[in-house]
Amino acid sequence: MPPTRTRPADASTAIGHFLDVLEARGYMHGTRRLRAHFLNEYLEHALSEEQSTTLPVDELMDPARADAWLAAAAAGGTRSRNTLTGPDAVAASNTQRVRIQTWNSFAEHLGLPLRLETPPAAHGDWLEPEESHRLLRTLAVKRPVGSNAATAIRTAAVAALVAATGRSVPGLHRLDVADVDLEHRPFPQIGLDTGPHPLDKDTADILRRWLDVRAGITRQLEGTDPGYLWIPTKPGRPRGGEEPPKPGLTRAAVRTLHSAHRNLVLQVFGAPLRPGALLLSRP
């Protein structure tokens, strides 16, 4: 028989150890952040129900506790801050799915033979056009905790362009500044591989703000601006003992754009809404 896996007795300590293991295995920051958020939410709910300050991890990992937590979360009872849809808004189905996946991953890490049934991904979690416009306007002015203003407006511009064109983030990744024509009449437009695509006023305004911020970043370059539309807003990590390239010399990676979107939308909307959910008309 395989040896029994040892684990910390205290639930909070066990969660911290799990997150350290994820980091050591190279999991992306966004994934670790979601796991941490939902496991701490689960622990806080259990402690509140027990009216206690500590809980053994074996007692925490009770499917009945998980069911109670998921029910409370579904009704908006675990929400820790107000969001665009209100402080008591029900949880999105895909958010509940991530909660279940997080619980199952933690149980597997602990070596427990416990699993909650994971529902299929919901592909219908789109926002109505009016909600999309409202969220995009909020993204353009909301500065998330732990992020800078340049990253926030770039994220809003990417989301607005996804909503306006129906393209994915990878589909818009190769755009250059030259593809954007905000002075075109009668409508501003963006040049896609299928030809010019008209832009609504809100999208054009958000893109104009990003281009202004982008110009401030590229003015720091020594030489010619390469012209990439989506650029890093700050230097990356040094690699191989060499200094990282200055922002503007390279394109921002797709994973960077996705991560920034996830972090901003989670704080503003209260759920990890995918970029494609922000459509200005129903599919």
Averaged pLDDT of the chain: 81
Which residue in 279, 244, 256, 29 sits closest to 155, CA to CA? 256
Q: What is the C-alpha separation between 259 and 282, in angstroms, rounded?
A: 25
Q: What average pLDDT does this structure show over 83-97?
A: 61
pLDDT in tens, 244-268: 777 778 889 888 888 887 777 777 7
pLDDT in tens, 96-131: 888 998 999 999 999 999 999 887 655 445 566 666
Cis peptide before 198 (omega within 30 of 0): no
In DSSP terms, 196 is beta-bridged to 191
Is 244 or 65 the better-scoring residue by pLDDT? 65
The residue length of the chain stands at: 283
pTM above 0.85, yes or no: no
Note the pLDDT of residue 20: 93
Note the pLDDT of residue 244: 72
Which residue in 64, 92, 178, 84 sits closest to 137, CA to CA? 84
Half-sphere exposure of 151 (CA within 13 A, CB side): 20
Note the pLDDT of residue 175: 95
